[in-house]
């Protein structure tokens, strides 16, 4: 998050539970004709259809005053990220169409109190922010250009398999020292490494934590390290493994290694921490893809050390490190699982950037869900009426802020770019929503199935779900708005058109309640433009969507035209389509 967003969020989120109603059923949509092939698409109230517009420009709907949400979208991937102009109109649209939702007030059954986030998150100190994102993205991109893992196809076991056969005598003694080679350049494309000696400070069932001896005087006390180690070993590690699958174990020690080193602190120039943020931690795929001297040839997570005096870079207290690293660890461990499963265990290619990053954002959210389950309302909250327990808020704050920013302009931000890179906060927020939606629809093992195979990107999603991505993307687009429509019971909205684990309007209302920033201008970020008989000219990026409300006139039918500005067909390679949802009368 940028600091302008973070600084104003001293209070946010609403009261009431965060889980949505899981009832309702999906009605069977009518046969869908492609654009330009004739016929009338007739939808019952709260029913949806996605229409392929790669072969034509028009689709006819039932009129007579019916109201619809109309979502033009480019359900493509692997295309250059550039805006594509389009025109959209509907003949016979009512001239007295309702105003688009502007206030976003939540339905009456959702209350709207707000609460304070842990002060450690909002104390004005630097946050990882842009530097963490760009460094992480550069590591992923660098690994894509590297040769296939040296361990691919070698029958390497996973950590769980080795751990079950591990003897206690194989655990190094506390205080024992070993060497590491640590990436020491803030540009991952530059192969600069530093050799460090580190002592074993914590030995758990799943994790061995080493501390760089050069930073020992700035580190945790042993009691603090024991608490820190227990959290990582018994909680965070298991959350990721349960959700995404096992980590490879090329060093055959049955455990993941964590190295806390000031070399990580030094990746971020102190003078830039306030504006650009800092690198808090990372996973380097080089460690499990190369057998060269600078590779540690094992599964390693690198984290910064407490440095309250700012000896190595900007200052970090024990408390701030303890607050920041858990979410970073969950995020980076998912990258490690994905990389090792795809390239080592299954001898395939690394996952595409947008999907890999979306899964790591889901990994961060696991921390929130863990504490939400541990502290059901009203427990674990500084105020009994708060939506999230205080310990959960820090794990999900970024996802909510970034997804809100995405929904302010969903026609701008691409969600399915195949190239790895730091595509920005908004696209990250959109990818979190997409992966959260797909997980809600597909079940608890969905993310593990994505990580544990040889396919990547859209092909991976289609293989695991058994559905074409265009159809999934259409359903997802509607869920962004129909998840909690004002005046409509959530249980009556088809399950395909809503989330089950989050209530979007509830989350964003809470953000709005606690913010005075211009970055949060309204309670619900997504607005519907009014679709009229006059062609609206706009643009869409690949993997993006626009949102319109159509209220039909008195005629029996109305015809929507979705075309290029000159009236021709949209390029088929962009997979243009219209997803349409019929609203109840008066809504």
Average pLDDT on 423-444 reads 93
Q: Give me the residues paired with residue 530 across strands.
A: 549
Give residue 142's pLDDT band: very low, low, confident or very high (50, 70, 90): confident
Separation CA 87–CA 18 (nearest Å): 38
Q: Tell me the pLDDT tens digit for each residue of 273-296.
A: 989 999 999 999 999 999 999 999
Half-sphere exposure of 247 (CA within 13 A, CB side): 31
382 against 164, higher pLDDT: 382
What's the angle, vertex CA 560, arms to CA 556 and CA 561, rounded to 5? 145
Dihedral sign computed on CA atoms, order 340, 77, 435, 231: positive
Q: Tell me the pLDDT tens digit for each residue of 166-187.
A: 544 478 999 999 999 999 998 8
Pairing between β-strand 193-203 and β-strand 177-183 as defined by DSSP bridges: antiparallel
Residue 199 CB neighbour total at 10 angstroms: 16
- Which pTM does this prediction carry? 0.90
Give the list of residues 6+ apart from residue 455 with CB closer than 8 angstroms, or none: 348, 463
Residue among 564, 520, 574, 569 at smallest CA distance from 544: 574
Q: Tell me the pLDDT tens digit for each residue of 96-138.
A: 544 444 433 333 333 333 333 433 444 456 889 889 998 998 8
> What is the reported pLDDT for 9?
42
Q: Tell me the pLDDT tens digit for each residue of 359-378.
A: 999 999 999 999 999 999 99
Q: Tell me the pLDDT tens digit for each residue of 299-327.
A: 999 999 999 999 999 999 999 999 999 99
> What is the reported pLDDT for 420?
54
Average pLDDT on 398-420 reads 89
CA distances from 435 to 34, 104, 281, 365, 388 (A): 27, 24, 23, 11, 21
Does the structure show a pLDDT above 80 at 385? no
Give residue 144's pLDDT band: very low, low, confident or very high (50, 70, 90): confident
State what percent of residues in the chain have pLDDT above 70.
84
Does the structure show a pLDDT above 90 at 433? yes
Cβ proximity of 13 and 518 under 8 Å: no
Dihedral sign computed on CA atoms, order 484, 490, 494, 498: positive
> What is the reported pLDDT for 153?
62
> What is the reported pLDDT for 124?
55
Burial, 321: exposed, middle or buried (Cβ in 10 Å; 0-12, 13-18, 19+)?
Answer: buried
Burial, 81: exposed, middle or buried (Cβ in 10 Å; 0-12, 13-18, 19+)?
Answer: middle
Does the structure show a pLDDT above 90 at 26? no
Give residue 512's pLDDT band: very low, low, confident or very high (50, 70, 90): confident
Give residue 92's pLDDT band: very low, low, confident or very high (50, 70, 90): confident
Give residue 388's pLDDT band: very low, low, confident or very high (50, 70, 90): confident
Among 44-58, 231-245, 405-419, 463-477, name the one with the lowest average pLDDT: 405-419
State what percent of residues in the chain have pLDDT above 90.
66
Average pLDDT on 494-514 reads 91
């Amino acid at each position: 998050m940028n600091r302008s967003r973070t600084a104003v969020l001293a209070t946010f989120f609403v009261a009431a539970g965060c889980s949505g109603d899981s009832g309702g059923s999906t009605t069977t949509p009518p046969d869908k004709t492609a654009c330009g092939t004739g016929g009338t698409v007739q939808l019952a109230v709260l029913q949806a259809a996605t229409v392929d517009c790669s072969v034509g420009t028009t689709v006819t709907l039932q009129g007579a005053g019916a109201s619809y949400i109309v979502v033009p979208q480019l359900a493509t991937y692997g295309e250059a990220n550039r805006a594509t102009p389009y025109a959209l109109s509907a003949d016979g649209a009512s001239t007295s169409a309702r105003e688009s939702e502007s206030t976003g007030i939540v339905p009456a059954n959702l209350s709207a109190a707000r609460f304070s986030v842990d002060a450690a998150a909002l104390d004005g100190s630097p946050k990882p922010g842009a530097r963490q994102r760009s460094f992480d993205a550069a590591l992923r991109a660098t690994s894509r250009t590297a040769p296939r893992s040296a361990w691919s196809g070698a029958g390497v076991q996973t950590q769980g398999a080795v751990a079950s056969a591990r003897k206690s005598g194989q655990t190094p003694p506390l205080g024992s020292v070993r060497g590491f080679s640590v990436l020491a350049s803030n540009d991952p494309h530059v192969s600069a490494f530093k050799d460090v000696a580190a002592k074993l400070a914590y030995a758990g069932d799943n994790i061995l934590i080493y501390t760089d001896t050069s930073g020992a005087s700035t580190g945790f006390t042993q009691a603090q390290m024991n608490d820190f180690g227990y959290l990582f070993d018994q909680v965070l590690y298991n959350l990721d493994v349960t959700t995404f699958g096992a980590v490879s174990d090329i060093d055959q020690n049955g455990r993941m290694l964590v190295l806390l080193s000031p070399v990580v602190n030094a990746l971020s120039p102190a003078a830039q921490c306030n504006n650009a943020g800092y690198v808090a931690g990372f996973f380097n795929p080089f460690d499990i893809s190369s057998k060269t001297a600078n590779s540690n040839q094992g599964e390693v997570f690198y984290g910064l050390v407490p440095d309250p005096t700012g000896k190595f870079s900007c200052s970090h207290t024990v408390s701030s490190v303890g607050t920041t690293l858990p979410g970073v660890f969950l995020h980076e461990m998912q990258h490690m699982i994905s990389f090792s499963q795809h390239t080592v265990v299954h001898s395939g290619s690394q996952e595409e950037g947008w999907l890999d990053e979306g899964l790591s954002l889901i990994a961060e959210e696991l921390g929130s869900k863990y504490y939400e389950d541990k502290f059901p309302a009203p427990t674990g909250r500084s105020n009994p009426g708060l939506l999230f327990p205080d310990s959960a808020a820090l794990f999900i704050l970024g996802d909510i802020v970034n997804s809100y920013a995405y929904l302010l302009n969903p026609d701008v931000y691409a969600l399915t770019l195949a190239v790895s890179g730091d595509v920005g906060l908004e696209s990250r927020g959109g990818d979190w929503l997409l992966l959260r939606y797909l997980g809600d629809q597909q079940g608890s093992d969905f993310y593990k199935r994505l990580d544990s195979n040889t396919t990547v990107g859209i092909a991976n999603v289609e293989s695991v779900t058994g559905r074409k991505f265009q159809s999934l993307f259409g359903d997802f687009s509607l869920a962004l708005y129909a998840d909690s429509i004002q005046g409509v019971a959530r249980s009556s909205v088809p399950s395909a058109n809503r989330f089950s684990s989050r209530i979007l309007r509830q989350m964003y209302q809470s953000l709005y309640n606690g913010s005075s920033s211009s970055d949060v201008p309204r309670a619900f970020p997504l607005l519907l433009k009014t679709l009229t008989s006059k062609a609206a000219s706009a643009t869409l990026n690949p993997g993006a969507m626009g949102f319109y409300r159509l209220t039909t006139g008195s005629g029996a039918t109305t015809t929507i035209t979705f075309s290029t500005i000159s009236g021709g067909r949209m390029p088929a390679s962009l997979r243009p389509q219209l997803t349409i949802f019929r609203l109840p009368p008066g809504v």
